[in-house]
Amino acid sequence: MPITTEDTLRWLGQLARVLQEKRDYLTQLDSAIGDADHGINMDRGFKAVMEKLQGQSEMDIGSLLKLVGTTLVSTVGGASGPLYGTAFLRAGIALAGKRELYPADYIAMLEAAVGGIQARGKAQAGEKTMLDALLPALASAKEAEAARLDIVEITRRASHAAEQGMLSTIPLVATKGRASYLGERSAGHQDPGATSSWLMLKTLADVCAARSKT
C-alpha cells in the first residue's frame, strides 16, 4: 500500500505535534553545543507549515513538500531553515506530480533530501550533523528496498538506522556549525540536528505502521 497525500498530511501534522512536544528537549540539546534555538526554530517552522497546509488536501505530494520547504526557509532563522528547507524543496521536486509513493519513491525522496542537505551544508558523515542520522537511514532504506520489503518495513528500518546514527553523534567532535567553535568540548553531547532528522523519519514510519494496522 503506497503512501498517499492523506498520509503525507498526517505525517506533517503529527511531526508538528512531535516537534512542539520535543521543543524544550531539542533546545536543551542545542544549548549544550550550539545557540539554544533548535527546538524553538523547528517548532516555529512547523507551526507555520501547518498554517500553510490548511485546506491543501488536493495538492500532490511533491507540491506539498515544496510548500513545506519554502515555508521553512522563510520562517526558520537558524541553520535548520536553509538545510531542511533545501531538503524538502529537493524532495518535492523529486516527487513532482505524485499522489502515491511506492518504495522506490520513498528512496527517491530521501535521496533528494539528503543530497540537498549535503549540497547546502557541505558536510560529510562523522561531522556531528543531521547527516549522521540521514546517511545511515538512506543506506538502510535502500537495502530494504532492494530486498523488496514493504513500505512499513522500509520506513521502520530507515527510522531505526537514523536513531542509531543519532546516538553515534554523542562521542563525536563537531567540525561544522556553531558546535565547531567548542572544539573538543562538543564531544559527549547528542547532536540536535541529527535528533530532529530522526524524529522526522520516525514520525513517518509511525504513520505507515499505524495505517497498516487499521
Partner 1 sequence: MTVSLVVVSHSAKLAEGVVELAGQMTHGKVAIAAAGGTSDGTLGTSVEHILAALEQVAGPDGTLILLDLGSAVMATEMAVEQFVQSGACPVTISPAPLVEGAVIAAVEASIGNSLAEVADAALGALSLPKLH
Which residues lie near partner 1 (CB under 8 A)? 35, 37, 41, 73-79, 81-83, 85-86, 120-121, 177-178
∠ CA 38-28-112, nearest 5°, is 35
Q: Which candidate, 121, 122, 131, 117, places its Cα nearest to that of 168?
A: 131
DSSP category for residue 128: S
Closer to partner 1 by CB, 13 or 82: give it.
Answer: 82
| Residue 86 beta carbon to partner 1: minimum distance, rounded to whole angstroms | 7
Closer to partner 1 by CB, 36 or 149: give it.
Answer: 36
| Residue 161 beta carbon to partner 1: minimum distance, rounded to whole angstroms | 26
Closer to partner 1 by CB, 103 or 121: give it.
Answer: 121
Sole residue written with cell 520562517: 75
150/85 Cα distance (integer angstroms)? 28
| Residue 181 beta carbon to partner 1: minimum distance, rounded to whole angstroms | 8
| Residue 116 beta carbon to partner 1: minimum distance, rounded to whole angstroms | 11
Sole residue written with cell 535548520: 80
Closer to partner 1 by CB, 178 or 211: give it.
Answer: 178
| Residue 119 beta carbon to partner 1: minimum distance, rounded to whole angstroms | 10
Reading the block at residue 175, the C-alpha cell is 567540525
209/156 Cα distance (integer angstroms)? 8
Closer to partner 1 by CB, 45 or 103: give it.
Answer: 45
C-alpha distances in Å from residue 94, one per residue of 4, 105, 111, 115, 140: 16, 8, 9, 11, 20
